[in-house]
A and B are shown apart, each in its own frame.
Chain A
């Protein structure tokens, strides 16, 4: 309960701080501010995918249904954050590059992630039976896991990118203002907390629904 309020306050406070206190990057102008929402969303997209795929592989090994709950919840949340990252990125691209969509490598890879999420959830939705659904979607997830590195390898060969350096700038090529950096990392932490909270909620709801179903089936079984 308290953690939830702290999370809310954290994100709200850093949003205000980022908009008022942090300076704008000269070339980017007002569009600098998309940084505090777009990159954390993209980060959660990747994190959720890794989380989902990790739990899919764990499901195939251990066959505990909780792993499948985690995989499904992370995929649903990942799709939401992926859409958010795509839309914010596309708006930013319109402002900076002059078109909403141009198949820049980053745009291609996020489109790919959208497709993977969409296909995974569509497949889940069309399989009957809890165990079978868990097993088959875990197989799909494992196969997708194998293909992701290939795309990361192929796409940069095809087009050169105009996108600013991704996520965590290890080479320090772009001199980020320390104030921007503080706000950015704070938002990153906030978004990660948000994802963790939503993920645990989603998993708990699934678990409760399963217990409810089992409880509803119990009297019927006893009557027989």
Chain B
């Protein structure tokens, strides 16, 4: 078990290891990007341009992000289980540092997906120009909350029998409040209303789940 001093080093090492193994194949990133673009294209084909309906746009934007996240974020732990590398990983780091490393990786991953998806979304749907400060803040805080939640659920799901199929169903109840708040904040910035209350709520949600995770990660693997 690593000492407390070395745990931030362990987190950093896990993050680097995740990035490196992802970069070697780029399988996960390619699949997730393809999936995100497919979702986006499906929405865009089906509905067309929606420049004047910012309420629908806000909902659709988060739907696309949610789908991309659900399709890709559970893999961080599943990959370790399926590659039989989890035992090795547990020998060198504490559950909390493993989970935090994976969380940072998921956050990076989600950020990369959004860098591609969100501009495409704005262009394809002919969305009105967002107010950048609240828009980017919503994306950042919302994605953080999304990553925190799905890392936590992903860690649980990786130890169950039907890993992939269960992830969406099990994480959705935890994602629902955050999705509602994120959609509302996005809509507010398009309408020119203050989104501060929703942003605070999102941040509090992310922090609460992060704190719960930090308390609970130690119970993740005991067998």
Interface assignment of A170: CB less than 8 Å from any CB of chain B? no
Which residue of the partner chain, among A126, A142, A150, contacts B162 with CB atoms under 8 Å? A126
Interface assignment of B56: CB less than 8 Å from any CB of chain A? no
**Are the C-beta atoms of A112 and B201 separated by less than 8 Å?**
no
Which residues in B have some Cβ–Cβ distance to A below 8 Å?
152-153, 156-157, 159-162, 166, 169-174, 176-178, 180-181, 184, 197, 201, 204-205, 208-209, 212-213, 215-216, 219-220, 222-223
**Are the C-beta atoms of A123 and B208 separated by less than 8 Å?**
no
| Nearest neighbor of A140 in chain B, beta-carbon distance | B156
Interface assignment of A25: CB less than 8 Å from any CB of chain B? no
Residue numbers in A under 8 Å from B212 (CB-CB): 142-143, 146
Q: How far is the CA of A120 from the CA of B103 in the complex (A)?
A: 23
**Are the C-beta atoms of A135 and B219 separated by less than 8 Å?**
yes
With A136-B160, A139-B219, A143-B216: A115-B173 Cβ-Cβ less than 8 Å? yes
What is the size, in residues, of chain A's interface with B at 8 Å between Cβ atoms? Answer: 31
Q: How far is the CA of A129 from the CA of B220 in the complex (A)?
A: 14
Q: How far is the CA of A135 from the CA of B223 in the complex (A)?
A: 11
With A129-B223, A139-B216, A146-B209: A151-B174 Cβ-Cβ less than 8 Å? no
Residue numbers in B under 8 Å from A153 (CB-CB): 201
Knowing that A129-B223, A147-B208 touch, tell me 7 more A-B residue pairs with CB under 8 angstroms.
A119-B172, A119-B173, A127-B161, A135-B219, A136-B160, A143-B213, A154-B180
Q: B38 CB to closest chain A CB, in angstroms?
A: 26
With A119-B170, A119-B172: A154-B219 Cβ-Cβ less than 8 Å? no
Residue numbers in B under 8 Å from A115 (CB-CB): 172-173, 176
**Are the C-beta atoms of A151 and B219 separated by less than 8 Å?**
no
What are 16 inter-chain pairs, A to B, with CB distance below 8 A?
A: A112-B176, A115-B172, A115-B173, A122-B166, A131-B222, A132-B159, A136-B160, A139-B156, A140-B153, A143-B213, A143-B216, A147-B174, A147-B208, A150-B208, A154-B181, A158-B180
